[in-house]
Amino acid sequence: MAVQHGQCPDCTKLAAKNTWNSLVQVRQKVPHKRTFLYLEQLILKHNAQKDTISVKEVRDGLDFFFSSRSHAIKMVEFLQGVVPVRYVPTSPYNRLPHSLPNPSSTKSSEQIISSDTHSNTANFKFTYSVEIIPICKDDLVLIPPKQAKSLSNISPLTICTRVGNSVHLIDPATLQYCDITSNIYWRTPFDSLATVTDLVEFTVLDVEPDHRKSKGKFVMADAQVAVAGAFRSSAGAADDDEMMDYEVPSSSTSQIYHTRTHLGSILQPGDTVMGYHLTNANFNSSDFALLEPGRIPDIILVKKAYPNRRKKSKARAWRLRSISKEAGEEGETGNARGVVGRLGGRDQKKVDEDYELFLRDIEEDAEIRAGVNLYKVQVPQGDVRMTGPEESGGGKGRKKKRAQFAMDVDDKGEPEEVVETNIAGMEEEAEDEADFPEVSLDELLEDFDEMTLGPDGQTQE
């Protein structure tokens, strides 16, 4: 008697590459990948990738491949619950099953692979296309005037504070806010007037909060600000190649601007804040040209910044997980770079900047941290060494250090990042901001994939 080992048909299909039955195409027409970085963490937190055969990055989004149509429908249902997707009526012949909460919100198509005329059966491949609203957190949004009147007569110039299954917009001058769902948005679609790459750095000179006017975490305040570096000598400004484009002061004018902001609860005189400089901006928008000049503020403040802490490039005590192990591997969750940022034609520097901005959003926003899983970074004992100024960048012949916005790649085969401490240059560095948002240890999880059992049955790392 001979024993022959084999696989069932389902396992055979799963082991073969490029064998899929259903495809979910997720797209967002924006010049960055921060939305998909956040979406990747939401998928991992809810374990929505467990039935995925592979995930592929494309120009404007991600493709999820499944071996069953029901798994693809389950992914579409998940996306409809966490992000605002496009509302597009589909053909009556290619509608999604009525089990979906909104069957007409997604395009679908099917392609016949094979058919049997004798048994009247056929094999199909199904494709579902989902488009996310092209508005992201901290974007400057100009609502069309007619639609703004229907939304409780809110001011057309608003700031996007959060994106869930709907877009949350707030008027920083009145604290009036509105929620725009997918159905409302796609009736009259509009794009962001400006994005985070257009933000300008300002210095707060004075702020007068009015605690009588507050809504949630936002407090109305009157602020006086100036462009960062306006009162500093140009000879003292150093050229930092690692700074992002929007962090470089755009003007040397010493003009003081008076504005009303929704950040009265966190701003103090001397703080650094990011905002949109509408006085020097030129927008290609017909709706913006129709606004009354008296209703357009000089600047709109968006969020507080922490330049002193950011320049130190301190290693974070936490990290994120990713869906795929590496570019050539498909399927299970691993500890290497995720599916976002692996497309060969994309600029790696731009990918690293998007990733750094996403990590900053996690640090500075507790609501975003609540939707992702953060894992502790285990630094082995003995890897903390003390360096002098010639090794850590104190002299001219310093060694090239890791870029500030380089994407963290968690690879088991590589040693953990070495924490360097510069004793000689500590006194010269600027002090950290007192209210810099720190991620507490209570919010971090243990990475159980890195834990193994020792010979005595004890858990060790």
Indicate if the pLDDT at residue 44 is higher than 70: yes
Distances (CA, A) of 254 to 205, 228, 251, 426, 441: 12, 9, 9, 31, 42
Q: In 3-state terms, what secondary structure has residue 12?
A: helix
Ranking 12-26, 133-147, 387-401 by mean pLDDT, the lowest is 387-401
Q: How far apart are CA 403 and CA 391, in angstroms?
A: 15
What pLDDT score was predicted for residue 396? 47
Find, among 152, 194, 188, the residue nearest to 296 by Cα: 194
What pLDDT score was predicted for residue 379? 65
Residue 421's pLDDT band (cuts 50, 70, 90): very low
Query: Considering the entire predicted model, what is its pTM?
Result: 0.74
Give residue-wise pLDDT tens across range 402-415. Answer: 444 455 544 444 44
Angle at 110 between CA 105 and CA 114, to 5 degrees: 165
Residue 341's pLDDT band (cuts 50, 70, 90): low
Give residue-wise pLDDT tens across range 422-435. Answer: 444 444 455 666 67
CA-derived radius of gyration, the chain: 26
Q: Are strands 420-422 and 318-319 parallel, antiparallel or unpaired?
A: unpaired
Question: Running DSSP on this structure, what letter comes out for residue 291?
Answer: S
Top-ranked range on mean pLDDT: pick from 20-24, 79-83, 339-343 = 79-83
Ranking 62-76, 348-362, 442-456 by mean pLDDT, the lowest is 442-456
Higher pLDDT, 136 or 308: 136
Give residue-wise pLDDT tens across range 229-267. Answer: 776 655 444 444 444 444 444 444 568 999 999 999 999
Contact in structure between 241 and 404 (CB atoms under 8 Å):
no
Indicate if the pLDDT at residue 68 is higher than 90: no
What pLDDT score was predicted for residue 263? 92
Higher pLDDT, 262 or 94: 262
Indicate if the pLDDT at residue 27 is higher than 60: yes
Residue 301's pLDDT band (cuts 50, 70, 90): very high
Top-ranked range on mean pLDDT: pick from 18-27, 373-382, 411-420 = 18-27
And the tokens for 209?
Answer: 């909060």
Q: Token match 């002299």: residue?
A: 395
Q: In 3-state terms, what secondary structure has residue 389?
A: helix
Q: How far apart are CA 108 and CA 127, in angstroms?
A: 6
Residue 365's pLDDT band (cuts 50, 70, 90): confident
